[in-house]
Amino acid sequence: MQAIEIKTATGKQSKILTGEDFTNFQNCFSAQKFILIIDENIFDLYPFFRKFNCIKIRADEKNKTLETVENIISQLIELQADRSTFIVGVGGGITCDIAGFSASIYMRGLRFGFISTSLLSQADASVGGKNGVNFNGFKNMAGTFNLPEFVICDTNMLNTLPQNEFIGGMSEIVKIALIKDLEMFNFIEYNTNAILKRNKKILQKLITKSIQRKTDIVSSDEFEKSERRMLNFGHTLAHAIERNSEISHGFAVSIGIRFAAEISKYFNLILNDDIVRIKNLLVNLGLPLHTEINDEILFKTIIADKKKNDDEINFVLINDIGKSLEKNIKISDFKYLISKFK
Ligand SMILES: NC(=O)c1ccc[n+]([C@@H]2O[C@H](COP(=O)([O-])OP(=O)(O)OC[C@H]3O[C@@H](n4cnc5c(N)ncnc54)[C@H](O)[C@@H]3O)[C@@H](O)[C@H]2O)c1
Ligand SMILES: [Zn+2]
């Protein structure tokens, strides 16, 4: 077991335990009463959780809504949750985002922690305290910044993860490597086969590296004023794809990564060889590179989304594998870039 601590400038703390057995979760907090907000798939697959007070949710992007939060609040009231109740979110990124948000607003905020069950959430989503829900199909429009007290990342739980979900999780890990860590990118390239075979030792190393990188970023910029915005690499297009299709977050991010890399090359920030490496890695991992969605639809969705600034879009690029920067791109130029590279 390895513990990684996040300490933010505002004095908040969170500990992330990799390689910890999920059945030890009660050692991570003390509270007279606790309630699990749990992905119904995990509830079905892991009978261990049935003996606890559970609020079950369906982990579906369409269900990541205020209505689901209302439903959770009703059940918390029924279960007589009060200010001293501790909430444990158990599931992937969708469940942790919803559970963290519900805990943050119920009675002005309950303490909470996560048992993170998908590769995407272990390596990225449950680290860093962003939580929230979608609104009218726009991603993560309502939410808070609030760190969980603990996150348990038990790699054994990844054994039951469907293959598509496993592969999708790799896109966020590749993203973190691309913006922050060339050595991590090399590691993924070198170990692609072992990763796809879910070699435990390699996965454990990879998840730990990913969490460390994300922790560095979050510790220095809890509220996404600067450095943390780099984590949005690949996400501008990804969110537009998700709004207009059934494609999963991880797969949409892969397409978004390739798109943002092409734009980085367009501005002469990276070499053609880098693009080839990035595309090869994504393909070797089984991730998609392109979307069939119409340019105009993607463009309209992107300019309606939250990361626009007047007539420019704030966009994250890489200026070498492992280094990132932000650039404001004129909306008119952006339209051209979508038609060229989407
Ligand atoms: N808060 C953040 O910083 C942050 C960062 C990245 C992504 N996200 C969010 O995370 C979400 C995507 O997360 P995700 O890919 O984990 O989605 P998810 O929670 O939907 O999990 C994916 C699927 O895998 C199933 N699953 C999860 N763990 C399993 C296990 N151990 N065994 C069997 N099945 C399992 C779930 O039931 C679901 O069907 C998106 O909504 C995205 O916006 C948040
Ligand atoms: Zn993401």
- 12-61 tens-digit pLDDT: 889 999 989 999 999 999 999 999 999 999 999 999 999 999 999 999 99
Atom nearest to 60 CA in ligand 1 = 20
Domains and CATH numbers, the chain: 2-160 (3.40.50.1970), 163-341 (1.20.1090.10)
Side-by-side strand order, sheet with 312-318: 308-309, 312-318, 324-330
For the chain, percent of residues with pLDDT exceeding 70: 99
| b/e per residue 273-292 (b: at least 16 CB within 10 A) | ebeebbbebbeebbbbeebe
Position 308 confidence tier, pLDDT thresholds 50, 70, 90 = low
Rg of the Cα atoms in the chain: 19
Ligand 1 binding site (Cβ under 6 Å of any ligand atom): 39, 41-42, 45, 59, 61, 64, 91-95, 97, 117-118, 120-121, 124-125, 128, 130-131, 139-140, 157, 160-161, 165, 168, 172, 249-250
With H, G, I as helix, E, B as strand and everything else as coil, classify residue 155.
Answer: helix
pTM, 2 dp: 0.93
Q: In the structure, what pLDDT confidence band is assigned to residue 9 with cuts at 50, 70 and 90?
A: confident
Rounded CA separation 234/307 (Å): 12
Structure tokens that stand for 261 in this block: 């890399």
> Which are the contacts of 168, defined by CB distance < 8 A and separation ≥ 6?
119, 120, 248, 249, 250, 251, 253, 254, 287
Give the three-class secondary structure for 207.
Answer: helix
Question: Strand, coil or helix: what is 319?
Answer: coil
Confidence of residue 226 (pLDDT cuts 50, 70, 90): confident
**How does DSSP classify residue 121?**
I
Residue 241 has pLDDT above 80, yes or no: yes
Distance between CA atoms of residues 111 and 122, nearest Å? 20
Averaged pLDDT of the chain: 95
pLDDT digits (tens, 9 = 90+) for 92-138: 999 999 999 999 999 999 999 999 999 999 999 888 899 999 999 88
